[in-house]
Amino acid sequence: MEAAKKRCPPKSYVEALENRVVRVEKYLRDHCPDTDLTQELGLPFDKETWLAQGVDKLDSPCPPRRTTLPAVQPLPLDKTDDPDHSDEELVGRHSLEHHIKKMTVDPGQPRFFGKSSTIMFVQSAIDLKHGINKNDEVNNKIGIDKLPSKRPEFWKPHPWVLETLEHETRHIYFPEKDLMESLIDLYFTRSGLYLPIFHRPTFERDVRVGLHIHDQGFGSVVLLVCALGARFSNDPRVLLEGIKDQHSAGWKWFRQVHWVRRSLLVPPRLSDLQIASLTAIFLHGSSTPQSSWTAIGMGIRLAQDVGAHRRKVYGSVPTVEEELWKRAFWVLVTLDRFISSNLGRSCAIHDEDFDLDLPVECDDEYWINEEDPKLAFKQPPGKPSIVAYFNCHLRLNMIHAFALRTIYSINKSKVLLGFVGHQWEKRIVAELDSALSKWMDSVPSHLRWDPDQENLRPSSLHTFSSQIDVPLLRIVISLH
């Protein structure tokens, strides 16, 4: 029942960082004796100098450098700008791992743990114990990592578990080079416009360097992109061997993809979320569209496993890597609500379960600016972004999700939410009507229907135009 106290990083953790900095500086001096690193690292100082002059006077005036195009890596979890006590969670995790030195919270890359997790509970118990026995110097010197009761068989992953962490397998068959280029272009111009999952320059660069041949995850992504692009292609090579039915287009590449990874012990990667999204899109256009619902649920769980649904794991300045994680998550959310509504099933995630910002409304060609990094992710004035459509779609999906949880929910849920009597229906209808009116007013002029517009492409709009129309139609019917 004690009130939670603001915890600072433990002294041992700070000292470990100081020692690490000293070793790094010594390494640089030994290997670069003639190089002046003052501009990059600032003036050298020690703790006594810092206390005497203050840290503000010793900080380097040189701003941090920005890389041009970082490789896509798993989402970093050490960044935070969420005021919701996120620093306590990170400090608590680091402190726990410091006390239990040879047992990390998760083998491999970090995963997301919320405030209600067992990890944070264990850390609170350790802090409470140290707070009660803070005058006991013997306990403080021993530390939890030296306790004799720590049994190795329960604190170390077993060898047969480590063997299943990951075994990369190469794909058997990719399309010919000219066909692959055609299918990738068809995907981005016909499908990727409406559900933006990738950053096209980065994707095409990775294909050119042959990353899909060596990386199993990216290889699966390329196969799925080709499979989806094949549905818009007239090339007979996209069909299954010996079959002339157009519905078989792309299946030769889709069948090579294992959308469930061999080991669930491996932390999810960005490619896993992309695979789940592309798999759901492909299956939804098949003769068994209901099977896409399962793939979406798996993808959302993978996103939650690494915290891709929380704002605090992203930095304040957008990067290519983090924006790709955001896009993958939002595509999973919109697919989840669209297909769950069609099947009359509950959604895998609700608005109160995530606090992620909408994707940046900036076209792919403006994500990176090598000449002036300050202009990165800046859409030119007067030029509407293609992503504006997707963001409008997401805002409408929020209204749709609210309707699903109120009007279409089962009676038990209505009772738990306090929707009893006759007045609640009028109140919900009024809220939905008001929300729809605000949404209509927020739609940019270039996305509003204009019957006199000449550059419409019905063939391109066919695939995903119903994702706007169906939710809107369902909500309007509900209001009446």
pLDDT per position as a tens digit, 330-344? 999 999 999 988 888
Locus of tokens 């114990």: 129
Q: Is residue 321 part of a domain?
A: no
Token pair of 470, please? 């169906």
Query: CA 199 → CA 39, 165, 215, 362, 387, distances in Å?
Result: 33, 29, 18, 11, 12
Half-sphere exposure of 109 (CA within 13 A, CB side): 16
Domain boundary among 162, 188, 219: 162
Q: Is residue 475 part of a domain?
A: yes
Q: Is residue 72 part of a domain?
A: yes
Domains: count for the chain: 2
Domain boundary among 162, 182, 199: 162
Q: Is residue 184 part of a domain?
A: no
Query: What is the 8-class DSSP label of residue 464?
Result: T
The DSSP element (H or E) to which 300 belongs, if any, is helix 292-305
Q: Is residue 442 part of a domain?
A: yes
Domain boundary among 162, 188, 222: 162
Q: Are 466 and 335 in contact (CB under 8 A)?
A: no
What per-residue string of b and e applies to 361-381 under the rule 16 or more CB within 10 Å gives b? bbbbebbbeeeeeeebbebee
Q: How many residues does the chain have?
A: 480
Q: Is residue 365 part of a domain?
A: no
3-class SS of residue 473: helix
Residue numbers of the chain with a pLDDT score lower than 70: 1-7, 39, 42-121, 131-171, 260-264, 412-421, 453-480
CA distance 325 to 335: 16
Q: Is residue 122 part of a domain?
A: yes
Q: Is residue 71 part of a domain?
A: yes
For 29, the domain range is 11-162
CA distance 116 to 77: 17
Q: Label residue 4 exposed, middle or buried (CB < 10 Å: 0-12, 13-18, 19+).
A: exposed
Q: Count other Cβ atoms within 10 Å, centred on residue 114.
A: 12
pLDDT score at 371: 86
pLDDT score at 282: 92
The DSSP element (H or E) to which 427 belongs, if any, is helix 423-442
Q: Which residues contact 186 (CB under 8 A, 6 or more apart)?
A: 229, 230, 232, 233
